Copies of this chain bind each other. A is one copy, B any other.
Amino acid sequence: MEELKLVKDNGKKSIVTVGDVKIGDGFLVIAGPCSVENENQINESALAVKKAGANILRGGAYKPRSSPYSFQGLGKDGLILLSNAGKLANMPVITEVIDTRDIELVCRYADIIQIGARNMQNYSLLTEVGKTGKPVMLKRGFYATVNEWLSSAEYILNEGNKNVILCERGIRTFETLTRNTLDLSSVALLRKLTHLPIIVDPSHATGRADLIEPMSLSAILSGCDGLMIEVHPTPNEALSDTEQAISTEAFAMLMGKIENTVEFKKTI
């Protein structure tokens, strides 16, 4: 890590401010569907996760999918629907960008830009979102060491954008019962290596709705600043990631446990 200057721990934790939400100061929850599918779905999701206590609404408009024949997201229409749903529920919104040409458009509709795992080493994209100054959540590549992840964050910081948030979402291993292997040690380690806020995404890491609760609560004690959880009004009908989304009812129950755990964390 010799070459990394801007990401490394300097004794003062970074805080990224988005509307009323201060990421890195207190605990926050990002929730919503994998993809924006239609107005009803995103509005219903937004109101439900807001009511349950979530702080930021997520929803994908540009979906990086392994197959060209899978649903690729609604694009600009999805951005508009997401933005409107955020206003409706009075929440900032986060969405992924996958092409430098779309950054301006995404910045217009989103409060936080997400760089997905597959693009963690898309250096053009990192440089360009760095230039915007907009809050950026950088997901860990499922193939990336912690040092490589921090190097990618350094790209964004090096363009003068201090609003960088890290998101652990599991790494690829030989285990097949979970989609990836959630690496909570990396969170504890990052706490010592960097001043940047850290979010954990148990949904993409495990790919299993039945593991979201234990992994969410475990993640809190590993030292993260927040969680990102996939929630869908009708998970079985989701157009993407159907196995890992939890229902709005399950999310409401989980939020109570998350809040209790966050409170407990303060006492230790």
Contact = CB atoms under 8 A, between A and B. Distances in A.
Interface stretch (A10-18, A24-32, A43-51, A216-224): A216-224
A211 B185 contact: yes
Oligomer copy total: 4
Contacts of A260: 264, 267-268
Nearest to A268: B257
Given A3-B67, A268-B261, A184 B221 contact: no
Interface residues on A, range: 35 or more
A117 to B, nearest CB: 9
Given A173-B181, A218-B221, A221-B218, A64 B261 contact: no
A67 B154 contact: yes
Count chain B CB atoms within 10 A of each CB in A65, A100, A152 and give the residue with the most.
A100
Nearest to A155: B68
A129 to B, nearest CB: 13
A193 to B, nearest CB: 8
A145 to B, nearest CB: 5
A175 B183 contact: yes
